[in-house]
Each structure stands twice: as C-alpha cells, then as structure tokens.
Amino acid sequence: MSSAVVTFDGVHRWFGKSHVLRGLSFEVAPGQVYALLGRNGAGKTTALRILLGFLAPLAGSAHVLGRDCTDLLPEQRGRIGYVGEEHRLYPTMTVQQAVNFEAATRSTFRKDFALEAAKRCGLRSGQRVPFLSRGQRAQLSLILAVASGPDLLICDDPALGLDVVMRREFLDVMIDLLADTGCTVLFSSHFLSDVERVADRVGILHEGALLVDARLDDLKQRVRKCIWVPNGDAKPPVGDNVLRVGARRQGFDLTLLDATEAMFADLAKSGELSPPEAPSLEDLFLDITGPEQPGMLREPIEQFLSKTGGA
C-alpha cells in the first residue's frame, strides 16, 4: 500500500466510441503540487471527475485519500477541496450566502478566514454571484475550496478564461492561501508558465495516455534541446533517448532525453551541433504533443523519418 494521496491505476474510460482515458496510471504524494497538462480533449477533466467520484472508471481503479473513488464517504469529501472548470456557484446567492452555505455544509470550514480572504480579494459580502466577474468568481471558488482546510485540493483548469492579470492574481491568491498548509494539490491547466511557477511535478496527458510523469526539476535536468546540421548524408540519431527529431531548412531540431556526453560528442563529430540547453516546459509540451509531431505513441520515430526522407 502506498502513502499516495491520489492513485490512478490503469484507468480506462470511454464515452460511447471515444476512448478518452487509456490506462492512466500515476500517483500524487502528500504535500505535492501536481499539474496535469494536456491539450483540449486529452482527458484531464475526465480524470479529475473520476477522482471526485462523478464518473466511474470502466476499467482500472482510482483512489483518493486511501479510498476507492467510486465509493467516497462524506469523511473523504470533507477533506477534498474542489475548484471546477467554470467556477460554478449558486447564482441565486450573494458572496456572504455562498460562504454561509459552505460553512453550513462543511464542519471544518473557517468562515472568518473565508470572509477575510474575500475582503482581501476585493469581494463585497453583499455582491451577488451572477454579478461577479469571471476572475472574482474564480477567486471566490478558490477561497471556498481552501477555507475548510482540505488535505487535497483539486482544481480543474481554474485559470481558464482569465486574462493575464487575473490569472497572475489568482495564482498569487492560491499560493498565498496554501502557503505552509501542507495541502496536496492536483490541478489541470493549459497555462504552462503558471505551472512552472507552482508545480512540483507534472503529468502530460495526450490522447488519454500519460507521456510524462516527472518532477519539474528532473525534467529540466534530463531533457536537452539542440540544433544539429549533419555533414554529408549523416542520419539523425534514433533510439529511446531521442524524444523528437524536427526537420529544419538546414539540419534538425533534436530533443533528447538523458543524453550522455558521448552522444553529444558523436553528434558533434558527424555534424554541426549547437550548445544543448534545457527546454522550457512549453517547448517540451509542444515537442511531444504538437499536431505536426510524430507523437510518442502513434508512430515510431523510424517510420516518421522514412516518410520525411531523413532530413
């Protein structure tokens, strides 16, 4: 048995004929901030909904706080905070009423903390929810989710639809509220710069399967990007270390994993090699999920190279 707060173990899920999750497996350790990344339709929201018990996996299992997600008890739900994609709150309520509702339904909810936090965010208690801006609603959702002191906070793309300033503000509030709480966070996002600011570990989901499940600092150490212009008819490298070979007008963009010094020496010998550097998360994400890429699951790199003629 693992100490993980969240465990996905070979979870499959279909919607009709669409295979949305294809054997998803990963774990989130206590106190970790885990970012689940992926393009639209990659299966992020489905994974989080399965975790919250709103959907059942059709194969495999998912556990949260040590309990099967299909059978969550009020006890576990009380320890989970949830911020949904669209920050759904009761449109018939005011900010004060929304806080009161949370306080009435969650025994651990800290009403004073929530009202104080709302005040700091510029939310007036008499403001009605439908008249809040998208950003204000996101902030209120986050405050409500955090004020009960959850052991696990699940956020489904919480910054979606916010402008740059609001997004930054939202993140600041999130960091501020969660500071030193030891709360485990699992969130999905499209904004990779935000992820780089807060996440300890990232999972990149593509077409229902996890391509990356790694610590952020680990990624920065192990992945290298360089430009290689071969001499004569030298072929680009192939193998497990090569994540991507992208054709340029002259030469190739290479994204390499755990590349050794010997490998760089070989490349330098057979062509001109730019200094290897750690790619940004956004670059890495594009390299492995971009539409024009061979894909790490769909097509072996050899096949891709044979199609493009090697260069």
77 binds other proteins, rule: CB under 8 A: yes
For residue 164, the minimal CB distance to other proteins (Å) is: 26
Stretch that binds other proteins, among 166-174, 185-193, 202-210, 303-311 (CB under 8 A): 202-210
Kindly tell me which of 106 and 225 has the beta carbon lying closer to other proteins.
106
Which residues, numbered 153-192, are part of the site for other proteins (CB under 8 A)?
none
- Strands 252-257 and 33-38: what pairing? unpaired
For the record, the structure tokens of 76 come out as: 């576990």
Compute the distance between CA of residue 57 and CA of residue 72 in angstroms, rounded to an integer. 14
In 3D, which of 11, 6, 23 has the Cα closest to residue 82? 6
244 binds other proteins, rule: CB under 8 A: no
The number of angstroms, rounded, from the C-alpha of 167 to the middle of its chain's C-alpha atoms is: 16
114 binds other proteins, rule: CB under 8 A: no
For residue 31, the minimal CB distance to other proteins (Å) is: 9
For the record, the structure tokens of 193 come out as: 């710069």
Stretch that binds other proteins, among 115-123, 157-165, 175-183, 210-218 (CB under 8 A): 210-218
For residue 129, the minimal CB distance to other proteins (Å) is: 10
**Structural contact between residues 34 and 205, judged by C-beta atoms closer than 8 angstroms:** no
Q: Give the binding-site size for other proteins (rule: CB under 8 A).
A: 67
For residue 74, the minimal CB distance to other proteins (Å) is: 4
Which residues, numbered 79-108, are part of the site for other proteins (CB under 8 A)?
80, 82, 84, 86, 88-93, 97, 100-101, 104-107
Compute the distance between CA of residue 109 and CA of residue 99 in angstroms, rounded to an integer. 9
Compute the distance between CA of residue 307 and CA of residue 311 in angstroms, rounded to an integer. 10
Largest CA distance in the chain: 74
Instruction: Name the one residue in this structure whose structure tokens are 């809040």.
Output: 132
- The dihedrals phi and psi of 228, each to the nearest 5 degrees, come to -130, 120
**Structural contact between residues 50 and 6, judged by C-beta atoms closer than 8 angstroms:** no
Stretch that binds other proteins, among 52-60, 189-197, 273-281, 301-309 (CB under 8 A): 52-60
Which residues, numbered 53-72, are part of the site for other proteins (CB under 8 A)?
53-56, 58-59
Q: Which of 118, 140, 211, 305 binds other proteins (CB under 8 A)?
A: 211
| Sign of the dihedral through C-alpha 220, 221, 227, 228 | negative
Other Cβ atoms within 10 Å of 114 Cβ, number: 23
Chain residues that interact with other proteins, rule: CB under 8 A: 1-4, 10, 12, 14-17, 22-24, 27-30, 32, 49, 52-56, 58-59, 74-75, 77-78, 80, 82, 84, 86, 88-93, 97, 100-101, 104-107, 201, 203, 208-215, 218-219, 222-223, 240, 243, 257, 288, 296-297
